[in-house]
Structure 1
């Protein structure tokens, strides 16, 4: 899945000379957490979060403050330089950027110009779609040898049953690197017939554990 398929294209922005107070108002009015800061060419030169603005705001207990801090330009608190991604980047790869840099938002640029934004909430929503958990389905986990050709072999069993597959994931089997786990979600609330087919074909089904069944 590409970034352009999940990014928001209507992005609220500010210029570096606008005030922190303006940023605070926009964050509250639009219920957002990040605002990209752009120059006159609409190129991203910084970004501010609700936490940045909150930290820069005077305390309600500070009786002598007249809010002068809020009049300062947003460039005094913005984060710069900014990590950006391209609309044609894969969402799966962008996920690692969020994790490695511990960020919650990434502007999307094309030819250095801002064209969208993607947040951790967007990423979570996309993960739900990729894993198929947003539709009524059953999850089956199959332990197989970690060697080429295993996925096509397993899929033949599902093909014979003619079940509709929502998603397919593969991850390592931690107790033994010689094996891996194939996770398949099928659009049925009764996976028992498919599980029986898998067992008859000689596959070890780790999940679900059906009563009266042995692996």
Structure 2
């Protein structure tokens, strides 16, 4: 999945000469948390968050003598340089940037021009879509040897029962490089027959592991 598929394109911005009061008003009226700061060419030169604006604003307990602070230009508190991504970047790679940099927002830039914005909220919802948890389904986790061709081999068991697979994920098995865990989300509310098929095929189930094998 690409960034351009999930980014917001209607981005509210401010010029660097706008005041902190302008930013505060924009944040409150539109219920947003970040404002890219751009030049006339729509080139991103900075970014401010609601926290930046809040920290630069007078306290609610202030007697009013410090209200002049709101007239300071927004460029005085903006973060720069700005970390950006491209519309054709992969969402999975961008998620790593969010994690590594501990940020909550990334402007999307193409040809040095702001084209969109992506926030941690879009990232979280995208992860929900990629894992298939937005669709009513059952989850099965299978421990498999880490070898070529293992995914279609296990998926064939689902195919034999004509079960639709909504998503597939893979993650390491503890610290053992010889094994992986395959996570299938399937469109069936009764996974018991498939669980038995997988066991009959010799696979070890990590989940569900509370369904006992039938007694002979």
Q: Considering the TM-score relative to the shorter chain, is it more than 0.5?
A: yes
Q: Structure 2: which 5+ runs fail to align?
A: none
Shift of 1:212: 2.3
Is 1:87 the counterpart of 2:100 in the alignment? no
- Other-structure match for 2:197: 197
The alignment's TM-score, normalised by the length of structure 1, stands at 0.97
Q: Structure 1: which 5+ runs fail to align?
A: none
Distance 1:71 1:125 in 2: 37
Is residue 58–residue 65 contact of structure 1 (8 Å, CA) maintained in 2?
no
Distance 1:205 1:20 in 2: 57
Is residue 144–residue 203 contact of structure 1 (8 Å, CA) maintained in 2?
yes
Is 1:5 the counterpart of 2:13 in the alignment? no
Is 1:22 the counterpart of 2:22 in the alignment? yes
The alignment's TM-score, normalised by the length of structure 2, stands at 0.96
Distance 2:210 2:158 in 1: 18
Shift of 1:46: 0.4
- Other-structure match for 2:162: 162
Shift of 1:211: 3.2
Please tell me the root mean square deviation across aligned C-alpha atoms, in Å. 1.1
Distance 2:165 2:59 in 1: 54
Shift of 1:65: 2.3
Residues 1-150 of structure 1: pairs in structure 2 closer than 5 A: 1-150=1-150
Q: 4+ runs of 1 displaced by more than 4 Å? A: none
Shift of 1:213: 2.5
Shift of 1:33: 0.3
Is residue 196–residue 213 contact of structure 2 (8 Å, CA) maintained in 1?
no
Distance 2:73 2:24 in 1: 12
How many residues align structurally? 214
Deviations 1:6-59 (A, max 9, x none): 000000000000001010011011110000000010010000000000000001
